Structure 1
């Protein structure tokens, strides 16, 4: 009886071993697939939430622009109030603000300083290469022609009458602070110079320069073509808000 039970148990164990061996032999071998970390040698980096830092930066930027806008509005209303008030205590501040608001920026003076430091003109706007002359020639009239109206008769400048189409040139190096249509002198170019003076060239037929362009002495800034309606070029020199007789600056021989 015992031997029969043992045989049955041994038979069951043998079948179980055979069954396990069969499963092991029938198991498919899966191909090995390397991960990105195993291929490239890097590992997962802990993810950080940067949205909060971005929001903080955006809030700081908005606050900065809001502060600038608020400051600009306050400054605007303060200046408006200052210009309208007649309080004696604010008169010095009012006079200073008026002078600052109406005084032109010294582009030409800054440009001369830049040239002395770096050797080339300061470009306020994109433009071509500007050559700096070693020595400026003696000043001459901006156009070839006869002076038909003097400073004593005009009060602000002179009127020059060329006989034919001619180029209009600057009398000295400077920076163009106006190039366009003036209500009085129509097509006009105004050049600011390093000594604080301004020269005006009016009634031109065409303008060949643009605002904030650096120009050299005797450089062409436009042309003039005599017509029945316009036979003269206007030229004036102004310094410290006063007009100067061009004969005091340009050689007297050049003015008949």
Structure 2
């Protein structure tokens, strides 16, 4: 009888020891700090399935993006059909909006005129480009954009004149204004077009390099690019356009050498 009691007590003591060991392992696991993962080191934390708010955030952002794209598309369609409706309708009260829309779609925006108005009103040019010292054409008479002989007249060319510099030279602006084109033209290769405050435009073609960019505000006699004559390219194209008509530069600028 005593032996049986001893065995029972012994088995009970062994179970208690096992329970105490297991509980000690669990507490150690709980107290052991978790090392940060690679994502956490760089500030990115994983999204666990028990956090529904974090799972819903990307879905909400995607929904907002899709809704904004849809809204822009709907507005574009409305604008397109609105313009088409104006042109298809002969109603009298729609004649003024039709005229305004036609002018806005066909006429060039007067950047130089607006820039001049802004400068006269506020005293400084608009921040279309880094501000440079502005000069007025009244300080000095207008001159050709580059020194050289006029090798082809306006009557022979039909739209401008051809100037033949003897050496490498800078191409300068006829007057202050805003650059409305700076790049490769189909007819005159590397070309710069400057819009002036009086609505006129001056064109400089067949350049070797361009030093200005689109919508940059340029001063009187400011460098626009560079030209260096070679075996194939010996002349610079220069034209003045006023009221959608080309004007003979010789009639505007005093030119000594005319063929």
Does 2:236 match 1:230?
no
After superposing the two structures, state which structure 1 stretch, 190-199 or 113-122, moved more: 113-122
Q: Could you say which residue in structure 1 is the equivalent of 2:167?
A: 164
Q: Could you say which residue in structure 2 is the equivalent of 1:217?
A: 220
Q: Which runs of 4+ in 1 moved over 3 A?
A: 58-69, 80-83, 87-96, 252-256
Does 2:166 match 1:184?
no
Q: Could you say which residue in structure 2 is the equivalent of 1:71?
A: 75
CA gap of 1:70–1:247, structure 2 versus 1, over 3 A, is same
Q: Could you say which residue in structure 1 is the equivalent of 2:123?
A: 119
Work out the CA distance in 1 between the residues paired with 2:104 and 2:143.
33
Residue pair 1:141, 1:254 contacting (<8 A) in 2 also: no
Work out the CA distance in 2 between the residues paired with 1:70 and 1:181.
36
Does 2:86 match 1:97?
no
Give the drift of 1:98: 2.9
Work out the CA distance in 1 between the residues paired with 2:133 and 2:257.
27
Work out the CA distance in 1 between the residues paired with 2:99 and 2:110.
20
Work out the CA distance in 2 between the residues paired with 1:136 and 1:115.
18
Task: Give structure 1 stretches of 5+ with no counterpart.
Answer: 1-57
Does 2:134 match 1:132?
yes
Work out the CA distance in 1 between the residues paired with 2:84 and 2:253.
43
CA gap of 1:254–1:173, structure 2 versus 1, over 3 A, is farther
Does 2:243 match 1:240?
yes
Report how many aligned residue pairs link the two structures.
198
Give the drift of 1:76: 1.8
Residue pair 1:120, 1:132 contacting (<8 A) in 2 also: no
Structure possessing the higher radius of gyration over alpha carbons: 1
- Name the SS for the 1:143 alignment partner: coil
Residue pair 1:121, 1:130 contacting (<8 A) in 2 also: no
Normalising to structure 1: TM-score of the pair?
0.67
Does 2:106 match 1:107?
no
Q: Could you say which residue in structure 2 is the equivalent of 1:250?
A: 253
Work out the CA distance in 2 between the residues paired with 1:172 and 1:254.
21
- Name the SS for the 1:71 alignment partner: helix
